[in-house]
Amino acid sequence: MVCNRCILVVQQEIERLQLTAKTIKLGEIYFESPLTASQKTALNNALTPLGFELIDDKKSKVIEKIKNTIIDLVHYQDGEIKHNLSDILSRELGHDYNYLSNVFSEVEGTTIEKYHIAQKIERVKELLVYDELSLSEIAYRLNYSSVAYLSNQFKKVTGLTPSHFKQIKEDKRKPLDQV
C-alpha cells in the first residue's frame, strides 16, 4: 500500500471478508487475532486482482517497510527531513543500515539510494505538473542542496531538464508502485 486510497481499498476488502483489523497503515495490517490459512487465502484472493499482495517472509517485510518509509518521507513530509536517510531507516526499522541496504539490493536489484532518488524525481515531476512552485521551492522542499543539483539529477534520471519536462506536458509520471 503506497497511499491513503490504498489503505481505504484494503480496509473495504477486509470488512467485506468480515475480518477484524486492529490497525491498517502503509504496507501493514495488524489483525485482532492471527488469520487462519483459509482467511489468508481469501484475503490474498481479494487483494491480488486489486494489485496488492500479502507479504509473510521477513525479508519482504523489511523491504516493504523501507519502501513505505521512503515514500512517506518523499511524498508526505515535504522539507521535514533533517537527518540522513540511513539514520532514519535504521531508527524506523530497528536494523543496522548495512543490513537494510544489503537485503534491499539483494532482493530488489537496485540500491536504497537509487530507489530514494527515483521517488524524489517522481515527486519533482508531480510538483512540476502542478505548476504551483518554482524550481528553487521544489529543491528546498525535497532537501536538495541547490537547484543545479536537482536539475542535474532530474536530467540524469529522466533524460530531460525540469524546464523541458514542464513544457512538454505529456504524462511522464509513474504510479508510486511502479517506481
DSSP for 34-46, written as a single string: PPPHHHHHHHHHH
Match 476488502 to its residue by C-alpha cell. 13
pLDDT of 176 reads 63
**pLDDT higher than threshold 90 for residue 84:** no
Question: What pLDDT sits at residue 174?
Answer: 65
Q: Is the Cβ–Cβ distance between 115 and 179 less than 8 Å?
A: yes
pLDDT tens sequence across 100-158: 999 999 888 999 999 999 999 999 999 998 888 999 999 999 989 999 999 999 999 99
State residue 75's pLDDT score. 84
Instruction: Give residue-wise pLDDT tens across range 121-135.
Output: 999 999 998 888 999
pLDDT digits (tens, 9 = 90+) for 25-75: 777 788 888 888 898 889 989 988 988 877 767 888 899 899 999 998 888
**Residue 165: Cβ-neighbour burial (10 angstroms; 0-12, 13-18, 19+):** buried
Question: Comparing C-alpha atoms, which of 130, 179, 21 is closest to residue 7?
Answer: 21
Amino acid at 55: I
Place 17 in a pLDDT band, splitting at 50, 70 and 90: very high
The pLDDT score that the predictor gives to residue 52 is 83
